[in-house]
């Protein structure tokens, strides 16, 4: 097996499976169901080794990823990396908290030792000359990268159906989408292939996949986590963040990747509080008492599935019973968020994607006797999928001299109005809530032919990106009509990410008491091979 395993349905996992004949898939299932926090404790106590933990996850990937297809590449160096952590621990070297804990990485992030395709053919096999800052920080924290996860091409989509390498399946129901664009990271965590993962969220690509796979996902405050080495979709909206099965695990990863980075000009220079401490404070009992929870009127109602609404209202009642003060708040301009986003995003994306010119990166389609422009055109024609082309055309049109004011200019004004709506809501409430997505996981093909229907899946998540405020998605139950996970979204003012972790951990505890354990324990068993 090589680090550059060819992407394709199940191929990365299958090549690993072939290299481990006689492996007993699933025999370490307890390690794959253990949280990152608990794995860290077991590793520190010397009760397990990082090699055992890493091997358990690689075996799980080999056993189920042929069906799930969460991974595009498996890290051939994972076991060696784990062995080095074990050796250092044995030698008494002081190690960071998550040393030896495995993690999956969305393929939008540059990694020195693995291809980084952003789900596109135009970057097939491209190995970056540097690590994204967040990846460098995982390595400095001595975490063990398991591999790169599948995604919609250049993070455009809500289902992973726009990946050039085939879709990822939802572990709760393999006939359904795992959300997008970060469906691979969410499915990896939900299918117990990784305890935690990194995603990126431009309009919901961490929170919506988390919602439909019963996972936790956080989009940090814009500028809170470095974008250096994250292949840009829309630079004023993109944020990297954690995906996990518990709020505390997301916080632990957030602490590793967050904080100022001089290589990102939009990185916030301030010091941040510990998100893990904030999450632990939420677990301590009465953390919701007196918290003003703003229910955003515009983020429910028409277009929301009945089961999403009923689970949401039960959760609000649970929060009220725990002492939260539920207030209705209004954000009148949220209605225009999707429209504004689909002008701003394509405008920025068309500019960011201009660098894929057949000369500097990846694919090059030769045109015998052709000009530079012919080669560029042929390469972009062959290398980009239909959704990427659609958005490049939309974006260049919105930025063209005659239409700039009418489209891009108006969208930027709407963006300001949405920011003001947030400011007004946060005068009445400490956190805002909504469902993370209007529906549970839909079937493959259901929205593929209708881009607008696909875009509307992000109505709840897009406002936070437009305003730069942090958002968290966490599982709040199963919809009665289809038995699929439903996500709760929490939002806080910019720089108040810690507030999300405290409230999120408190809500998680209430819900787990209600269910008698975590929601993920109710996920169906996947077929193993
Ligand atoms: N689904 C949204 C889109 O297609 C969000 C994407 C993202 O957050 N990267 O743009």
Percent over 70 (pLDDT), the chain:
95
- pLDDT tens column, 241-258: 999 999 999 999 999 999
Question: What is the predicted pLDDT for the residue at 145?
Answer: 98
- Please determine, for residue 460, whether its predicted confidence score (pLDDT) is greater than 50: yes
Percent over 90 (pLDDT), the chain:
91
Residues in CB range of 347: below 8 A, 6 or more apart: 395, 398, 399, 408, 411
Copy the structure tokens of residue 406. 């009418």
- Please determine, for residue 12, whether its predicted confidence score (pLDDT) is greater than 90: no
pLDDT average, residue stretch 92-110: 98
- pLDDT tens column, 486-497: 999 999 999 999
- Please determine, for residue 146, whether its predicted confidence score (pLDDT) is greater than 60: yes
* Separation of alpha carbons 276 and 192, rounded Å: 22
Other beta carbons within 10 Å of 336 = 18
Question: What is the predicted pLDDT for the residue at 360?
Answer: 86
pLDDT average, residue stretch 11-29: 49
Other beta carbons within 10 Å of 197 = 30
- Ligand 1 binding pocket mutation candidate from 179, 181, 208, 456 (most atoms within 8 A of CB): 181
Question: What is the predicted pLDDT for the residue at 377?
Answer: 97
pLDDT average, residue stretch 120-136: 97
C-alpha 339 – ligand 1 centre gap (Å)? 13
The torsion angles phi and psi of 478, rounded to 5 degrees, stand at -115, 135
Question: What is the predicted pLDDT for the residue at 24?
Answer: 39
- Please determine, for residue 309, whether its predicted confidence score (pLDDT) is greater than 70: yes
- pLDDT tens column, 112-121: 999 999 999 9
- pLDDT tens column, 342-384: 999 999 999 999 999 999 888 999 999 999 999 999 999 999 9
C-alpha 299 – ligand 1 centre gap (Å)? 18
Q: Whose CA is nearest to atom 4 of ligand 1?
A: 157
Q: What is the CATH number of the domain that holds 219?
A: 3.90.1300.10
Q: Which residues line ligand 1 (CB under 6 A)?
A: 155-158, 180-181, 201-205, 233, 345, 458
- DSSP letters, 412-456, are HHHHHHHHHHHHHHHHH-SEEEEESSSSSPPBTTTTTT-HHHHHG
Range of the domain at 221: 1-529
With cut-offs at 50, 70 and 90, classify the pLDDT of residue 4. very low
The number of folded domains in the chain is: 1
- Please determine, for residue 17, whether its predicted confidence score (pLDDT) is greater than 80: no
Mean pLDDT of the chain: 94
Catalytic residues: 106, 181, 205
C-alpha 40 – ligand 1 centre gap (Å)? 32
- Ligand 1 binding pocket mutation candidate from 206, 233, 448 (most atoms within 8 A of CB): 233
Q: Which helix (H) or strand (E) holds 186?
A: helix 183-190
With cut-offs at 50, 70 and 90, classify the pLDDT of residue 447. very high
- Please determine, for residue 9, whether its predicted confidence score (pLDDT) is greater than 60: no
Distances (CA, A) of 223 to 196, 369, 415: 22, 46, 17
- What number does the ligand 1 atom closest to the CA of 345 have? 10
* Separation of alpha carbons 376 and 371, rounded Å: 9
- What number does the ligand 1 atom closest to the CA of 237 have? 8
- pLDDT tens column, 220-245: 999 999 999 999 999 999 999 999 99
Question: What is the predicted pLDDT for the residue at 315?
Answer: 98
- Please determine, for residue 25, whether its predicted confidence score (pLDDT) is greater than 50: no
Least confident segment among 45-54, 397-406, 412-421: 397-406
- pLDDT tens column, 171-214: 999 999 999 999 999 999 999 999 999 999 999 999 999 999 99
Question: What is the predicted pLDDT for the residue at 13?
Answer: 53
C-alpha 272 – ligand 1 centre gap (Å)? 27
Burial class (CB in 10 A: 0-12, 13-18, 19+), 30: exposed
Question: What is the predicted pLDDT for the residue at 1?
Answer: 30
Question: What is the predicted pLDDT for the residue at 369?
Answer: 97
Q: Whose CA is nearest to atom 10 of ligand 1?
A: 156
C-alpha 32 – ligand 1 centre gap (Å)? 29
With cut-offs at 50, 70 and 90, classify the pLDDT of residue 14. low
pLDDT average, residue stretch 398-417: 94
Q: Whose CA is nearest to atom 5 of ligand 1?
A: 203
- Ligand 1 binding pocket mutation candidate from 109, 160, 180 (most atoms within 8 A of CB): 180
């Amino acid at each position: 097996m090589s680090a550059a395993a060819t992407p394709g349905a199940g191929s990365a996992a299958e090549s690993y499976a072939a290299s481990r004949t006689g492996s007993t898939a699933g025999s370490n299932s307890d390690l794959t169901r253990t949280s990152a926090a608990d794995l860290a404790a077991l590793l520190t106590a010397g009760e397990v080794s990082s090699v055992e933990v890493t091997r358990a996850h690689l075996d799980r990937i080999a056993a189920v990823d042929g069906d799930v297809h969460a991974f595009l590449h498996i890290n051939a160096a994972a076991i060696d990396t784990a062995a080095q952590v074990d050796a250092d621990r044995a030698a008494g070297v002081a190690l960071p908290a998550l040393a030896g804990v495995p993690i999956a990485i969305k393929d939008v992030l540059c990694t020195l030792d693995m291809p980084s395709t952003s789900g596109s053919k135009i970057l097939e096999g491209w190995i970056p000359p540097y690590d994204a800052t967040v990846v460098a920080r995982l390595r400095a924290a001595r975490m063990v990268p398991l591999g790169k996860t599948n995604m919609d091409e250049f993070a455009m989509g809500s289902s992973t159906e726009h990946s050039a390498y085939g879709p990822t399946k939802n572990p709760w129901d393999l006939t359904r989408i795992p959300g997008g664009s970060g469906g691979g990271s969410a499915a990896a965590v939900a299918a117990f292939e990784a305890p935690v993962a990194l995603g990126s969220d431009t309009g919901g690509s961490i929170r919506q996949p988390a919602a439909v796979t019963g996972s936790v996902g956080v989009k940090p405050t814009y500028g809170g986590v470095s974008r250096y080495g994250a292949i840009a979709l829309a630079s004023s909206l993109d944020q990297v963040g954690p995906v996990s099965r518990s709020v505390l695990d997301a916080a632990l990863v957030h602490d590793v990747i967050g904080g100022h980075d001089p290589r990102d000009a939009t990185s916030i220079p301030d010091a941040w509080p510990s998100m893990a401490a904030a999450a632990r404070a939420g677990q301590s009992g009465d953390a919701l008492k007196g918290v003003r929870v703003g229910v955003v009127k515009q983020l429910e109602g028409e277009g929301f599935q009945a089961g999403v609404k009923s689970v949401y209202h039960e959760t609000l009642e649970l929060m009220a019973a725990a002492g939260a003060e539920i207030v209705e708040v209004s954000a009148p301009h949220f209605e225009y968020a999707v429209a504004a986003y689909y002008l701003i995003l394509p405008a920025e994306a068309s500019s960011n994607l201009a660098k894929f010119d057949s000369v500097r990166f990846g694919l090059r389609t030769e045109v015998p006797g052709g000009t530079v422009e012919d080669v560029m055109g042929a390469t972009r024609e062959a290398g980009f999928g239909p959704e990427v082309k659609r958005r490049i055309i939309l974006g260049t049109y919105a930025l063209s001299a005659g239409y700039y004011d009418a489209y891009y200019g108006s969208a930027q004004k709407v963006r300001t109005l949405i920011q003001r709506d947030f400011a007004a809501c946060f005068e009445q409430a400490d956190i805002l809530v909504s469902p993370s997505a209007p529906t549970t996981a839909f079937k493959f093909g259901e929205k593929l032919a209708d881009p607008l229907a696909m875009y509307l899946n992000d109505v709840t998540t897009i406002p936070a990106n437009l305003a730069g405020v942090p958002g968290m998605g966490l599982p709040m139950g199963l919809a009665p009509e289809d038995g699929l996970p439903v996500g709760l979204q929490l939002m806080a003012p910019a720089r108040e990410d810690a507030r999300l972790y405290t409230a999120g951990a408190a809500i998680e505890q209430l819900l787990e008491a209600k269910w008698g354990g975590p929601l993920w324990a109710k996920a169906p068993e996947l077929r193993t091979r």
